[in-house]
Amino acid sequence: MCQQYGPNPKTETGMADLKEARVPDIGGHDDVPIIEVLVKVGDTVAVDQGLVTLESDKATMEVPSPFAGVVRELKVKLGDNLSEGALVAIIEVAAGVAAEAPAPASVLPPPPAAQPIAAVATTSASETGAKVEPVVVAPPAPVPAPAAAPMGAGLPPVRFEADAVLPDKVPYASPAVRLFARELGVDLMQVTGSERGGRIGKLDVQNFVKSALAGGVSAAPAAVSAGGGGGLNLIPWPKVDFAKFGAIESKPLSRIQKISGANLARNWAMIPHVTQFDDADITDLEDLRVALNNENAKAIAAGKAGKVTMLAFMIKASVAALKKYPNFNASLDGDNLVLKQYYNIGFAADTPNGLVVPVLRDADKKGVMQIAAEMGELAAAARDGKLKPEQMQGGCFTISSLGGIGGTAFTPIINAPEVAILGVSKSETKPVWDGKAFQPRLIVPLSLSYDHRVIDGAAAARFTAYLAQLLADMRRAML
């Protein structure tokens, strides 16, 4: 764990040591950013109390204090990148009061499952005078991981279970809790955290053991067999040796593709999708968009303003439609429908590494110009791979726009736990009858996929019709 490097200077009184708290083994990760500083100079800390929180692409973890004492100097700040051995703080430890914390194993690897689960005594022997013997409960039989199979061995193209997508994911717990769990033989992957941010505490581990002793904990679900149907009890995926038919090349999926693929497959399988198609006349809106960009050409060129896109108007119109039809701004939670009072709109962004969905927050409180500017910033961060997790969370409704590429219509997959998603295809000038003659009008196709458990067809038709009216005349959004 954290170690002391170099000599320990004494204070003037000779009664206390200044010791260095450094980053412990974090599983070989380098340059992990600090997302939270948990203490300040002058704070009194206990052994294993968190000093800072780090967040890698796989886990969030705390750097614990190896000593009990007073923080005399912080060597890091929010946003710094740390690696193993980096100096975090100088802690004044009163002589003879606190020793260095025992060094647990690596922060990241999950605890071994080979040890038995020992009962946690709620009453100590000193309180009762009786000898307390730990009760040993045999853990569930481990499920062997499926071995790597050659190409064409009949593996489903997408597996739904999380372990197939994130085999190296780790539970959110401090090193002290990890050590405590290892001593008891508890697999933290099966423990639900009750502390802030879902963190697992010692009490959570104790409650898990009590539940295990009472027979209330079931074994982890078995992994899907290599020839199975992706956990849906389907017939096996076809086994084909593709090399028999010609030259092939095997290319691994990116991490984003693996994660998004599993999410999309789950959403498509578990949500009853229906798609409503409609057209919107955006002739006047396109004229307004061009005029706004012309008026702000100098500011846009200088980087002081964002270029207004049709998607910015789509977001503003969608917010107005969500306010009129609140069931579209909702999520299913068991037998309850959670109606949201905020309007965070996600938009699908195509990046070199795959599809991501940045979320524009509080779209109802922003004008089209501000929406366009923030969309540009989020899209740039997505392309550079610098989107933060919080920038992809909390969405209410998603828009997937393929208008810049082409297409006349498509069926977008709902981004759970949302209940609807809007697909936008390429606009096209078409002849439209005005009662006397055909007029050239710019028409954009809309494709609204919705969760049929929450929304029926009539409501979806009304939503898309109202959205089309707003896009034809944005003044309606002010009504």
By annotation, the residues acting in catalysis are: 452
The token duo for 256 is 């984003």
The rounded distance, in Å, linking the Cα atoms of 314 and 347 is 10
Closest CA to 71 of 96, 46, 54: 46
CA-to-CA distance for 401 and 423, rounded, in angstroms?
6
Classified as helix, coil or strand, 171 is coil
Token match 């581990």: residue?
205
3-class secondary structure, 316: helix
Question: Count of residues for the chain?
Answer: 479
C-alpha to C-alpha distance for 347 and 392, rounded to whole angstroms:
10
Q: For residue 293, with 0-12 CB atoms within 10 Å meaning exposed, 13-18 middle and 19 or more buried, which class applies?
A: middle
User: Which amino acid, residue 372?
Assistant: A
- Residue 429 φ then ψ, to 5°: -80, 125
Rounded to 5 degrees, what are φ and ψ at 285?
-65, -35
Nearest to 210 by CA among 120, 340, 301: 120
Q: What are 300's two structure tokens?
A: 């846009």
Closest CA to 368 of 421, 295, 306, 427: 306
The set of residues, in sequence order, having a beta carbon less than 8 Å from that of 270 and lying 6+ positions away, is: 416
Compute the distance between CA of residue 144 and CA of residue 132 in angstroms, rounded to an integer: 35
Residue 69: count of CB within 10 angstroms of its CB: 25
Report DSSP letters for 195-242, one per residue.
Answer: SGGG-B-HHHHHHHHHHHHTT--PPPPPPPPTTS-TTS-PPPPPP--G
Distance CA 62, CA 106 (A): 12
**CA 318/CA 347 separation, integer angstroms:** 12
Q: For residue 249, is it left (φ>0), alpha (ψ between -120 and 50) or beta? A: beta
State the amino acid at position 265 in one-letter form.
Answer: A
Of the candidates 170, 169, 173, 178, the one whose C-alpha atom is nearest the C-alpha of residue 199 is: 173
